Amino acid sequence: MKRHNPLAAMFMISLLCILSACGNELKQNHTIAATDNPTVKESNNEDTVEKKTLVVYFSATGTTKTLSEHAADILNSDIYEIVPAIPYTEEDLAYYTDGRADQEQQDNEARPAISEPIKNIEQYETIVLGYPIWHGQAPRIISTFLESYDFSNKTILPFCTSQSSGIGTSDTNLHSLADNAKWLEGRRFAADTTRETIKEWLDSMAIKPDKNAFDFDKHVVKLNSGYEMPMMGLGTYSLSDDECYNSIIALLKNGGRLIDTAYMYHNEASVGRAVRESNIAREEIFVTTKLYLTQYSDAANAIDEALERLGLDYIDLMLLHHPGEGDVEAYKAMEQAVKDGKIHSIGLSNWYVEELEAFLPQISITPALIQNEIHPYYQENDVIPYVQNLGITMQGWYPFGGRGHTSELLSDKTITTIAAAHNVTPAQVILRWNLQKGVTVIPGSSNPNHIQENLDLFTFELSQDEMAQINALDRNEKHDWY
C-alpha cells in the first residue's frame, strides 16, 4: 500500500458565416437519445438522485455541435441534441429569401416542433444551452425547448455560435420563457474556438464536471483535465531498483496501466525503465509522480529533473506531496509545465478541507486529483464529497490500513464475511468498496499474484447493504501523521 516518508521531510453575423467544425475531442462524452432514461446513480447510504449537468444544443451546420461536444467532454456530462421534427434544408436556411428560417424568426410565436423530448430532465441541475444566431436571435426551436420543461431550481448557462456578432439580446430574450430558472450570463464563441477556451469559460462560470466520472466498463475515470486514468493501479513506495521494475512489469502484463511513484520513493528511474521496456505504447500507461517539500523552492527545475529520471517525454499526473512553504509557487510551476506540454494533469496529496479552502483560491488550474489516506477505518467522509463536488477525482493510499494495520483490516469479520459471499479476497472487497465510493486506488505490492488480484475488481459488485456495513467500520482512525 501507499506510504509517504515523514522522515524526508499539487455564430456568426449571419448563418452563412459559420465555419466548419473544429478540432478533435480528447475523449467521447455521453450522448443520450431523446427518449433515453439516463442512469440515476445510487448513493451508498440511501436512494438519491444525483443532480447532473446536461449540455443541450441545436446546430444547423455543425459549429454549435462541435463546441457543445467539447463542453460535454470537459464536464463529463450527458449531451442532448435538439432535433427538429422537420429538418431544415439548405433552402430553409438561406437568408433573406423569405424561406422557412426567415419566416420563423420574424414570427415571435413560431414554435418549430422537436422530434423527441428528454425524459427525466429532473435529474439535471444545470443546463448548458448552445445555439447559432439567426437574425440576431436564438432560433425559435430554442423557444420550443424552453417552453417544454419545468426549469424550477435549475441553472441555465447559454452560449451562441457566431463568427462576428456578439450574443446581443439573444440570451436575455429567452429568460421569460423559463423565468423560474437561474440564468447565467451568456457568451458568444466563434467557430474556431478551442476546447481549452471552452474549459476556461466553464471554469470561470463555476460549472464543474459531474463527479460520477467513473466508467466501470472501461475501468477508467475521467479527470477534469480531460484525460482518462485507470481506476486502480500500483503504488511503488518501498519498491526499489529491480523489485520496482519487476513489480511494474507484472502490473503491465496483467493489464494494469496506472503507476504511482514520487521523488521521495527514489525509484523514478526504475519506473521509467519499466515503462520504456514494456513494449506497450506510452499513451496507454498512466504515470503519476510527486514533488516533495524540499523541491518547492525550485519546482521548475524539479519537474525537468523528474522527466529526466523517468526518461519520459511527459508526465501524466504530477502532485505536490504535502502542504508546505512555497506550495502555491510550486503548483504554479506545475501549471506552467502543463502549458508547456511537460505534464498532462496536476493535483495534490495530503490536502484536506481546511488546506484546500485556503489553497484553491490562489491557483488557476483546478487540481485533477487529490490523494489521501483512505481505508475502512479512516474513511474521510467529510473530505471525499467536498473534493468530488469540486469536480476533482479522489484517490486513496493505504487502502489496506498501512503501518502494521493491514493484517487487522484484512481479517476484519465484516470484510471477510462479505468476501466469502462473493468468493473473492478481503483485499478485493476493500478495493471494490473504494471504487464504488468514487475513490481510485493504488495498492502497493511486489507479489505478482497480489498485483493480479488487486486488478481483478470487476467480476463482482457490493450491494448497498454491504457498502453500508463497511461504511459502519469507520473509526476516524488515521494511521499516518499527514
pLDDT score at 290: 98
pLDDT at 50: 52
**Would you tell me which CATH number, out of the four given (3.40.50.2300, 3.40.50.10480, 3.40.50.360, 3.20.20.70), belongs to the domain 15-204?**
3.40.50.360
For the chain, first and last CA: distance in Å?
Answer: 16
Residue 172: predicted pLDDT: 95
Backbone angles phi, psi at 220, to 5 degrees: -130, 165
Is 159:67 a contact under the CB 8 Å cutoff? Answer: yes
- Distance (Å, whole) CA 317 – CA 332: 15
Q: Where are the domains of the chain?
A: 15-204, 214-471
Name which CATH class applies to 214-471: alpha beta
pLDDT given for residue 26 in this prediction: 31
Asked if residue 128 lies in contact with residue 98, where contact means CB atoms within 8 angstroms, the answer is no
Give residue 382's identity as a one-letter amino acid code: D
What region does 440 belong to: left with phi over 0, alpha with psi -120 to 50, or beta?
beta
> Residue 368 has what DSSP assignment?
S
Check: CB of residue 93 under 8 Å from CB of residue 165.
no
DSSP one-letter code for 177:
G
Q: What is the pTM of this model?
A: 0.68
Task: Output the pLDDT for position 14.
Answer: 38
| Pairwise CA distance, residues 15 & 11, whole Å | 7
CB atoms closer than 10 angstroms to residue 76: 25
Cα 191 to Cα 59, 62, 77, 252, 428, distances in angstroms = 12, 9, 22, 41, 48
Q: With contact defined as beta carbons under 8 Å apart, do 7 and 481 qualify?
A: no
List the one residue out of 208, 127, 128 whose CA is nearest residue 389.
Answer: 208
**pLDDT tens for the 482 residues of the chain, in order:** 333 443 343 333 333 333 333 333 333 344 554 434 333 333 333 333 456 899 999 999 899 999 999 999 888 888 999 999 999 999 999 989 999 999 999 999 999 999 999 988 888 999 999 999 999 999 999 999 999 999 999 999 999 998 777 889 999 999 999 999 999 999 999 999 998 899 889 989 988 776 657 889 899 998 988 899 999 999 999 999 999 999 999 999 999 999 999 999 999 999 999 999 999 999 999 999 999 999 999 999 999 999 999 999 999 999 999 999 999 999 999 999 999 999 999 999 999 999 999 999 999 999 999 999 999 999 999 999 899 888 899 999 999 998 788 999 999 999 999 999 999 999 999 999 999 999 999 999 999 999 999 999 999 999 999 999 999 999 998 888 77
- The reply to whether 15-204 and 214-471 are identical in fold is no
Q: Grid coordinates in use for 58?
A: 441545436
Query: What own/partner pairs with CB < 8 Å and gap ≥ 24 does 46-49 have?
Result: 49/122, 49/123
Catalytic residues: 265
- Across 368-385, b (16+ Cβ under 10 Å) vs e yields bbbbbbbbbbbbbeebbe
